[in-house]
């Protein structure tokens, strides 16, 4: 196994950047902390103002139709979570079979058939049941998360086994193949397996409750933003450019809220429950000069998975060139994103894939233009991109 693959991905105890509930978080050392606190409080004001205006004009605090659509088939959707969790244990039993002498050819079939079956079942459910956007995103997100966990567990143990067969001394393998080790790996907010992770000493109930409160405020803010400011515009069926312009601000606000909900609240909640210490779930992507920087920084768990199990796999095991490995990684990522969107829209329109692949020439353009130009080019895409995609896919679903 190469030096890159041997390197541990999670190595130290550190908080996420915007974790205002953690005194050691970088946000507390930042001179812009006051603006961030204002944004957090603004979410609370936004909820109160929206509920008041809604109640005075319509007699209800929230838009109820969207909520009713969200909870359609709710019990069944919730039960999918433990089902996928239990199904992912096939990766652990697969390792036990390998230790018992399972041939490589059969092992290859077991690995890829078990991982593919999860996608086939989830695709069947999405296409045959009356699910909206929240249910579809929840189920496909679960499947992708556990697929990556299963794949990483299998691939890392393959590499560890190859090293162990060459030199059995000082190897964590096969002592790491235990049910407890796999359980801890599953519940931690990571997508790359390693035999040990940095851990905090104890569970902090006050921290957990603060995070839960922030999650509740932000999820309600996101609901109001989508139900009051995005769905009505989508349903108006305006001309393309009109819809795009009207959606710029609400889509950007939703994008930011979704980022904080996932990477600042949900992942930290799971990290606290599992005592996981290395919480660098994102880096300063808002300072990205190129889309390549953004891809590395905004979603660290997925980036680390793609780097270790797609880029390095293509480069070192399949002998791709460095450039072709990069292109292949972009293509794989775009394909996965497009699959999710296709299931949500129940139609194939490769707008997202085209825009993601367009990031490659934009990286070169940004480098030529310099840092300031690259930063402005990046933010132009962030501001206009979500609303552009929302407009394109909503028009496709209508027509």
* First-last CA distance in the chain: 51
Number of Cβ atoms within 10 Å of the Cβ of 297: 17
Q: What is the 3-state secondary structure (H, E, C) of the chain?
A: CCHHHHCCCCCCCECCCCCCCCCCCHHHHCCCHHHHHHHHHHHHHHHHHHHHHHHHHHCCCCCHHHHHHHCCCHHHHHHHHHHHHHHCCHHHHHHHHHHCCCCHHHHHHHHHHHHHHHHHHHHHHHHHCCCCHHHHHHHHHHHHHHHHHHHHHHHHHHHHHHHHHHCCCCCCCCCCCCHHHHHHHHHCCCCCCCCCCCECCCCCHHHHHHHHHHHHHHHHHHHHHHHHHHHHHHHHCCCHHHHHHHHHHHHHHHHHHHHHHHHHHHHHHHHHHCCECECCCCCCHHHCCCHHHHHHHCCHHHHHHHHHHHHHHHHHHCCCCHHHHHHHHHHHHHHHHHHHHHHHHCCCCCHHHHHHHCHHHHHHHHHHHCHHHHHHHHHHHHHHHHHHHHHHHHHHHHC
d(CA 162, CA 37): 50
- Which among 112, 229, 309, 337 is annotated as catalytic? 337
Residues 6+ apart with CB under 8 A from 161: 98, 173, 174
The four Cα atoms 204, 207, 212, 217 give a dihedral, to 10 degrees, of: 180
d(CA 17, CA 26): 5
Look up 309 and say whether it is catalytic.
Answer: no
The catalytic residues are: 337
């Amino acid at each position: 196994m190469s030096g890159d693959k041997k390197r541990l991905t999670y190595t130290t105890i550190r908080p996420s950047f915007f974790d205002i509930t953690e005194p050691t978080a970088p946000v507390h050392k930042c001179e812009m902390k006051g603006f961030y606190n204002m944004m957090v409080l603004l979410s609370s004001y936004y909820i109160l103002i929206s509920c008041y205006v809604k109640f005075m004009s319509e007699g209800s605090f929230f838009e109820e139709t969207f909520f009713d659509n969200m909870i359609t088939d709710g019990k069944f959707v919730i039960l999918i979570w433990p089902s996928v969790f239990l199904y992912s244990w096939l990766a652990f039993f697969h390792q036990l079979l390998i230790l018992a002498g399972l041939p490589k050819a059969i092992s290859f079939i077991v690995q890829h058939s078990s991982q593919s079956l999860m996608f086939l079942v989830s695709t069947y459910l999405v296409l045959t049941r009356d699910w909206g956007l929240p249910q579809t995103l929840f189920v496909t997100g679960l499947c992708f998360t556990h697929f990556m966990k299963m794949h990483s567990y299998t691939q890392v143990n393959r590499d560890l086994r190859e090293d162990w067969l060459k030199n059995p001394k000082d190897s964590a393998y096969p002592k790491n193949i235990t049910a407890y080790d796999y359980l801890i790996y599953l519940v931690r907010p990571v997508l790359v397996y390693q035999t040990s992770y940095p851990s905090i000493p104890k569970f902090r109930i006050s921290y957990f409750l603060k995070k839960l409160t922030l999650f509740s405020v932000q999820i309600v803010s996101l609901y109001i933003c989508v139900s009051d400011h995005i769905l009505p515009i989508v349903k108006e069926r305006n001309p393309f450019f009109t819809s795009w312009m009207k959606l710029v601000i609400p889509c950007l606000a939703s994008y930011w809220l979704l980022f904080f909900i996932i990477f600042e609240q949900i992942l930290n909640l799971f990290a606290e429950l599992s005592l996981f210490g290395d919480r660098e779930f994102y880096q300063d992507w808002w300072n990205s000069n190129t889309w390549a920087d953004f891809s590395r920084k905004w979603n660290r768990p997925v980036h680390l998975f793609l780097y270790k199990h797609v880029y390095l796999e293509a480069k070192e095991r399949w002998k791709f060139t460095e450039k072709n490995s990069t292109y292949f990684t972009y293509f794989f990522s775009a394909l996965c994103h497009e699959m999710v969107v296709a299931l949500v829209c129940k139609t194939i329109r490769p707008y997202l894939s085209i825009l993601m692949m367009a990031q490659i020439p934009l990286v070169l353009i940004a480098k030529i233009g310099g840092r300031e130009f690259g930063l402005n080019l990046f933010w132009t895409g962030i501001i206009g991109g979500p609303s552009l995609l929302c407009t394109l896919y909503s028009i496709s679903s209508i027509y």
